[in-house]
Amino acid sequence: AGATITVRNESCVGPNSAQTFRAMLAAAGYDRTKRPMCGADRSPTIVEVQFRVTQLNNIDQKLGHITMNGYFRMWWKDPRLAFKGKKNGGCVDILSLAGSESSVIWRPDIYIDNLVEKTTGSGFASLAQISPDGSVWS
């Protein structure tokens, strides 16, 4: 049987967990209700999205409904979330916020026109992964 050994780098700076990341955001006065401003001209935040259909379950022509399975992803950049990565003396290169932990950051309000119902399978949680430059993948 194999074992995984994690060696902690005591000399690293910056967040090394969701808890320390939340503390960093609180100390900086981060406001999740304000969208990130991008660039010197404060241009709109660009949010890229992907919907991957994995299964087409039903087409009801009479009602005009389609039932399908799939997953929805989105990614954007929030410079306010930037932190030092490992190559700059930081503790981690990716911070993962799962479930309610991800509610501390700004998230785009995505609306799907004509959506009848959205269900999420059991065991699935919201996930946000943040890179040192503030790029967020969710």
SS3 80: helix
The per-residue pLDDT for 109 is 87
pLDDT exceeds cutoff 70 at 113: yes
Mean pLDDT for all residues in the chain: 85
Whether 121 and 47 have beta carbons less than 8 Å apart is answered as no
Q: What is the pLDDT of residue 71?
A: 85
Q: Are 127 and 138 in contact (CB under 8 A)?
A: yes
Instruction: Determine the Cα–Cα distance for residues 28 and 15; give it in Å rounded to an integer.
Output: 13
Q: What is the pLDDT at residue 1?
A: 47
**What is the C-alpha separation between 113 and 57, in angstroms, rounded?**
20
pLDDT at position 114:
81
The pLDDT assigned to 8 comes to: 52
Mean pLDDT value of segment 28-41: 86
